[in-house]
Structure 1
């Protein structure tokens, strides 16, 4: 297995009307960058964030941050990922199990060996 892709349902936290649950793509490519994961957000417009896999793992247990990304547990079953830009903040709430399942899959992925 090389690239790991997993859809997860998430809630975009906003001051405006709640868009409800949206599909978010979680992606890990050990051939491209074995230390990072990517989250593709569909609203409000496509946004792609790449950050440390270790940050995501730490943030599921306790508040963690690196640069423009913050991750923390929210209650017993949810986690929040917060992305900061010059234009504002995007806050996304996930089920912790979905993120943990994704991380587990990334640890079993292996780079493709090219001869």
Structure 2
């Protein structure tokens, strides 16, 4: 049976003008998708009342804890010694979130205990993934 790590953490949504709003998103790691991590936001913060999930590379999170990282829709960087910022870009705007770095490190450590860094490819079922993409072609 496969495992999923689900950690609820505290975050601050930073808005303009500079104010903050506390959030409790979940950090999720699924060993069936070993290259990715998810930030899952509760339904009460979305415009349509539905849960919102962002998926990005686990390696991006690890790199962003050490220094600025990311291109495209997700950027991660340390903010001092105790905080880490994750910036999410959409067509509607940008969400800037601040997390305790220790929470993100703890989550990553748990994910590495499940699937070690560099061991992701052993967990990928590339044949099934390719078959899934080519169904009906």
Does the 8 A contact of 1:36 with 1:52 survive in 2? yes
Deviation (angstroms), 1:24: 0.9
Partner of 2:14: 13
Distance in 2 between the 1:38 and 1:15 partners?
25
Asked whether the 8 Å contact 2:60–2:76 carries over to 1, the reply is yes
How big is the shift at 1:40?
Answer: 1.1
Q: Which has the higher helix share?
A: 2
Q: By how many angstroms is 1:59 displaced? A: 0.2
- 1: CA distance, partners of 2:69 / 2:41: 20
Relative contact order (C-alpha < 8 Å, sep 6+): which is higher?
A: 1
Report the equivalent of 2:112: 107
Which of 83, 97, 100 is matched with 2:88 structurally?
Answer: 83
**By how many angstroms is 1:108 displaced?**
1.0
Structure 1 spans left out of the alignment, 5+ residues? none
Which position in structure 2 is the counterpart of 1:40? Answer: 40
Corresponding residue for residue 79 of structure 2: 74
What is the CA-CA distance between 1:3 and the residue it aligns to?
0.5
Contact 1:55/1:66 (8 A) holds in 2 = no
Q: Tell me, what secondary structure is at the counterpart of 1:65?
A: coil
In structure 2, the residue corresponding to 1:76 is in which secondary structure?
coil
Q: Which has the higher strand share?
A: 1
What is the distance in 1 between the residues matched to 2:53 and 2:18?
22
Shift in Å, 1:19: 5.3
CA distance in 2, matches of 1:40, 1:87: 18
Q: Kindly state the Cα deviation for residue 2 of structure 1 after the two structures are TM-superposed.
A: 1.2
RMSD over aligned CA atoms reads 1.9
The answer to whether the 8 Å contact 2:14/2:21 transfers is no
Unpaired runs of at least 5, structure 2: 116-122, 124-137
> Aligned pair 1:93/2:98, yes or no?
yes
